[in-house]
Structure 1
Amino acid sequence: MVDGFVNILKPSGPTSHDMVAYVRRLLGIRRVGHAGTLDPLACGVLVIAVGRATRLISYLERTRIYRGEITFGLTTSTLDSGGEIVAKSPTGLQRQELEELLLNFTGPIYQVPPMVSALKWQGQRLYNLARKGIEIDRKPRRVLIKKLELLSFTPDECHPQALIECICTEGTYVRSLAADIGEALGCGAYLSFLLRTQSGPFSVSSSLTPNEFEIALKHDQISRWLCPPQDALHNLPTVILDEKDSNSFVHGNQILLHQDILSCNKTIAVRVLNRSGVFLGVGNIDLSDLNRLLKPKVVFN
């Protein structure tokens, strides 16, 4: 059985679901899922879990890094280049004005998710409702913009453009961010290009294009395309068990620990290995409990 993560460089065009189906077909494995949607027009890192690693998606580190191009003076129906232009407001925006404004979009902010998104409302995807001309009220969602940097600026009398880098938490819509920046400037804006350069521990520098993935499969280069679960979960503290406790853990039993992990009063998730370095799964430890019990949550056996 193949268990782990594939770092695919998604091209512009296919949906994230399309890429999951693509990997499922090539590997002949039913248990395949992705660790965070990329819009169809966006490209970049799409982390795909295969086999039992699908149960580990929620334990991955959640930081996202994007590079996006914003075009000012135009607003589209989808907030990106895939929609129709719904408003024009030519602007002679200058770099300094934009740099000063970006400071207001750093830190915790609230976003209204776009209608053309994969979010569900009463069991239906918002983008399916949008295609029918239906628009519903969406509640603002809190996200964290850790860093927002202006990488370059192309002045223009009508439609200047900016290239930004955004480091943010999962669930951030860069399309909405671009539109909100345009609204704050009074000229409107849309996201004309988006590249995800990092998703948790997975970087675009090590991602594989679909063609590279197929070549690696053809030559049976599993180490080139498959990231083992223990490597993907580097963000979690590690607990190493002896043979007796390892056997007990993989059978779903709680383990009384005799090792210090942290000294804070909270429950944490840990990756669990045996003394040979074999990944056994993920467990929870209640650090406020003096007994320090390791409780299995996801077990590989």
Structure 2
Amino acid sequence: MARRRPATVHGSVIVDKPHGPTSHDVVGMLRRRFGERRIGHAGTLDPSATGVLVVGIGNATRLLRFATAGRKSYECEIVFGVETSTLDAAGETVATWCMDLEPAEVADAAAGFVGSISQLPPMVSAVRVGGRRLHEIARSGDAAERVPREVEVYRFEVEPTGDPQVYRASVDCSAGTYVRTLGADLGNALGGGAHIRALRRTRSGAFSLSDAEAPEEAVLRPPAELVRDLSQIRLSDDDAARARQGTHLAAHRYGGSGPWALFDPEDRLIAVHERAGGRLRATVLPK
């Protein structure tokens, strides 16, 4: 008798990633838990980083980019006077400074990074250059020309700790912002260098630590959870049938700039429509 294939699982999981495993390791844990190969995550966290990791399972992997396109929030410690090869505590020390800092001076310098800023992606990042990720290029010892990226920092607050060289930091920023680069750049702005440690993501898009659970305990949520921040449109049976085929709604049905999550009369998510290059594009979820 032929072995029966397990039913396909579709949904989302919000994980509080622990210290140690990579984001890919977490995906592996969830593949074993749910018996589903199609699993992806949004917003990689380094092994030493913890916090909110948004995961899509089955058809829901198509929705990940909508779930975490918004702002992210982080907490970390910034260690002044020591620059490392990875800009965090996992790297080797490459330079040291004697930095005599006043809290008001550090706060003023941090405020200078709030707004639209240009960042150079770190060599340990997953950004692709010539088809290869920067961290792969760095490990091979090859050189790569990095292109600065425009990001948005909405909040960058620092406060002193019991160690005059260590400050706690809270950051709200756009997707694609590197907190390790922010810490290193702050050290440079204060006349020396710095690296970060104890990085924790407290929010990713619509999801916060209150939503997150350990990988072995995180519950399976409906795919619609990943688009809960989008504008929502309820469709008739006829419109729902057309949307399932990839047909766009009449223009007057859309309000705002989108994207729009489309639901059938039974409140099931069918598709997401968005504007791209002046035209409408549909991401349809098969049944």
C-alpha contact 1:93 1:155 (8 A) present in aligned 2:
no
Query: Which one of 92, 96, 111 corresponds to residue 119 of structure 2?
Result: 111
Percent identity reads: 40
Looking at structure 2, the residues matched to 128 and 252 of structure 1 have their Cα atoms a distance apart, in angstroms, of 38
Stretches of structure 1 that go unaligned for 5 or more consecutive residues are 214-224
* 2:152 counterpart letter in structure 1: L
Deviation digits for residues 218-254 of structure 1 (CA, Å, limit 9, x no counterpart): xxxxxxx122222321221111111111122212333
* 2:267 counterpart letter in structure 1: G
Q: Does 1:74 align with 2:86?
A: no
Indicate the larger mover: 106-115 or 250-259: 250-259
SS at structure 1 position matched to 2:240: helix
Query: Which one of 241, 253, 260 corresponds to residue 247 of structure 2?
Result: 253
C-alpha contact 2:188 2:194 (8 A) present in aligned 1:
yes
Deviation digits for residues 188-219 of structure 1 (CA, Å, limit 9, x no counterpart): 10002200001011111221112433xxxxxx
Looking at structure 2, the residues matched to 257 and 128 of structure 1 have their Cα atoms a distance apart, in angstroms, of 45
C-alpha contact 1:5 1:227 (8 A) present in aligned 2:
yes
**TM-score normalized by the length of structure 2:** 0.90
C-alpha contact 1:7 1:48 (8 A) present in aligned 2:
yes
Shift of 1:9: 0.9
Shift of 1:31: 0.9
Sort the Cα spacing of 1:115 and 1:296 in 2 relative to 1 into closer, same or farther, 3 A: closer
* 1:249 counterpart letter in structure 2: A
Paired position in structure 2 for 1:25: 32
Sort the Cα spacing of 1:92 and 1:295 in 2 relative to 1 into closer, same or farther, 3 A: closer
Q: What RMSD in Å do the two structures reach over aligned CA positions? A: 2.1
* 1:38 counterpart letter in structure 2: L
Looking at structure 2, the residues matched to 132 and 285 of structure 1 have their Cα atoms a distance apart, in angstroms, of 40
* 2:223 counterpart letter in structure 1: P
C-alpha contact 1:282 1:297 (8 A) present in aligned 2:
yes
Looking at structure 2, the residues matched to 129 and 297 of structure 1 have their Cα atoms a distance apart, in angstroms, of 33
Looking at structure 2, the residues matched to 295 and 82 of structure 1 have their Cα atoms a distance apart, in angstroms, of 42
**TM-score normalized by the length of structure 1:** 0.86
Shift of 1:295: 6.0
Looking at structure 1, the residues matched to 178 and 162 of structure 2 have their Cα atoms a distance apart, in angstroms, of 25
Looking at structure 1, the residues matched to 251 and 117 of structure 2 have their Cα atoms a distance apart, in angstroms, of 40
Shift of 1:160: 1.2
Deviation digits for residues 121-170 of structure 1 (CA, Å, limit 9, x no counterpart): 222221122123333221111100011112x31254xx611111100011
Looking at structure 2, the residues matched to 85 and 295 of structure 1 have their Cα atoms a distance apart, in angstroms, of 48
